[in-house]
Chain A
Amino acid sequence: MYSKKVIQHFTKPHNQGKMKNPDGIGMVGNPVCGDIMKIYIKVKKNTKKKKEIIRDIKFETLGCAAAISTSSMITDLAKGKTLDEAIKITRADVSESLGGLPPIKMHCSNLAADGLKKAIENYRNKK
């Protein structure tokens, strides 16, 4: 049912855990559907180039293998990117990087891009 890549990220998720003093938090999902996701980011400002970069990113997820692996994948995709780059990462980018997701999981469990977006917005709103 799942690609090898999904199973890899599911079994050994990257950047999993809580973050102390994050700069932004994004929480998405729906307990009734069974998937909830929380993305934490730490942002580094590069004043010379006037850029803001995601220095660290972590996640916590309650959900199925698709939900956990997309969370893990988005942390890989977003780490080191500028906020402007990171906010453009789409659901399709995430599922493609994982070698595809079962069609039925595309909607409900592929929430990571939304979670990251919310975390970035949360950071920007604080400023």
Chain B
Amino acid sequence: MNKKLIYLDYAATTPVDKKVLKAMLPYFSEKFGNPMSLHSFGEFAKEATQKSRQQIASFLHCNLEEIIFTSGATESNNLAIKGIVKKYFFGKTKNLDTRCSMNKPHIITTVFEHHCVLNSLKFLEKSGQAEVTYLPVYKEGVVRAEDVKKAIKKNTILVSVMYVNNEIGTVQPIEEISKIVKNSREGAKTLYPIFHTDATQAINYFDCNVEKLGVDMLSLSGHKIYGPKGVGALYVRKGTPIEKTQDGGDQEGQKRAGTHNVPGIVGLGEAINQVKSQKSKVKNILSLRNYLIEKVLKEIKDVTLNGSKIKRSPNNANFTFKSVEGESLILMLDQLGIACSTGSACSSGSLKPSHVLMSLGIKTEESHGSIRITLGKYTTKKEMDYAIKTLENVIKKIRTISGDILKEF
């Protein structure tokens, strides 16, 4: 039995960086105070959360008050979307803004957002709080800015487009879209639409300067960037009409109630600090990933790369193999020490194929044979070589078991 384990699922989660862990540890038992307390225990904790806020603000090029700490990207995305709609209905903006004369607001997004965005929007649709346009992403997995432009209506209050897709790693034209949104706002002299991006998969590899991007809200998560799980943040540009969605204390400028996850927040700040100082590793990841794609397409028959090869995160490869079922593939690879993931319906719990692969126009029967391999800063050439060789062998084995029955059926 092969003992070495190779982790190639960095888009699912990442190990906590040792420096990040070290920074967090004092905030469990020594400096355990509540940042809302007035005594010195509280002061220590507050200083720590403020330091983290500073680290994140400097990464995003924004002000300290524009950062809201959350429990992760799912909460950030929920707050961004539902908070905007809530403010629209119950806030004072209704009287101030011309676009608010319409009763039902309109939201624009893409078909292949993360489920936390899509399910939030589906809830708003179902409950009659909003109408939603889901834009296509075409074969390349990239939304077209002109489609956003065409979709904006008088009652559009929010545009939410992810920066980097979590399954196929394709990069969306955020800057272009923000220009369109701004033009529309200026033309109509209104606060709306607000532009939100889920940057969870982008932080490690792309410029997240919110001024450059031109976004009003940006979501991020700790555990995708070598930080801890259970912590994230939402950037909200000053003046954005948003209402809290969780009631309680006055934390986070009354935008997000609940005692601060101080160790987590410290970890998030340190993790984002590390991203800045580790830009050199991105080049290495990109070259290993290109090596992987090149080898797999050359050495294995009947395989396609899903999504644009160029507009793509440097750590992502997503393949579809004919006459292979993804769950089988993942389990066999795991037995040989390789961890990655699949868009196959059989592994989804709901038995539905990946909505991301479907959005590229891939047929359901082909979507079953897909895998996502995502690299990280600890990935080595040796690991890549072993993974490619093993993948070749496992595909051969599975294709032996399946024979030609897909054709015969």
Contacts and interface: CB of A to CB of B under 8 A. Distances in A.
Given A63-B346, A109-B346, A36 B405 contact: yes
Nearest to B335: A11
Contacts of A109: 346
B331 A10 contact: yes
Contact of A27 (B327, B368, B409): B409
Interface string B324-366: 1101100110010000000011110101010000000000110
Interface string A57-72: 0001111111110000
A38 B351 contact: no
Interface residues of B, number: 26
A82 B408 CA distance: 28
Nearest to B406: A62
B204 interface: no
Interface string B397-409: 0001111011011
B403 A32 contact: no
Contact of B325 (A11, A16, A64): A64
> Which of A13, A16, A64 has the most CB atoms of chain B within a 10 A radius of its CB?
A64
B347 A62 contact: no
B408 A61 contact: no
A17 B401 CA distance: 7
Nearest to A66: B346
Contacts of A27: 405, 408-409
Contacts, number: 78
Contact of B345 (A17, A34, A62): A34
Identify which of B347, B402, B408 gathers the most chain A CB atoms within 10 Å of its CB.
B402
A34 B346 contact: yes
A38 B10 CA distance: 37
B172 interface: no
A61 B401 contact: yes
Given A61-B402, A68-B328, A108-B351, A34 B365 contact: yes
A29 interface: yes
B323 interface: yes
Nearest to A109: B346
Contact of A60 (B331, B346, B353, B403): B403
B328 A36 contact: no
Contacts of A16: 400-401
Contact of A35 (B325, B331, B353, B364): B325
Closest 10 CB pairs of A and B: A62-B402, A31-B365, A34-B368, A60-B403, A64-B346, A64-B327, A32-B364, A38-B405, A63-B325, A36-B405
8 contacts: A11-B332, A18-B403, A34-B353, A36-B405, A60-B403, A62-B405, A63-B346, A64-B325
Interface of B: 323-325, 327-328, 331-332, 335, 344-347, 349, 351, 353, 364-365, 368, 400-403, 405-406, 408-409
Interface of A: 7, 10-11, 13, 16-18, 27, 29, 31-38, 60-68, 104-105, 108-109
Given A13-B401, A18-B403, A36-B405, 5 more contacts: A34-B325, A35-B325, A37-B405, A60-B401, A104-B351
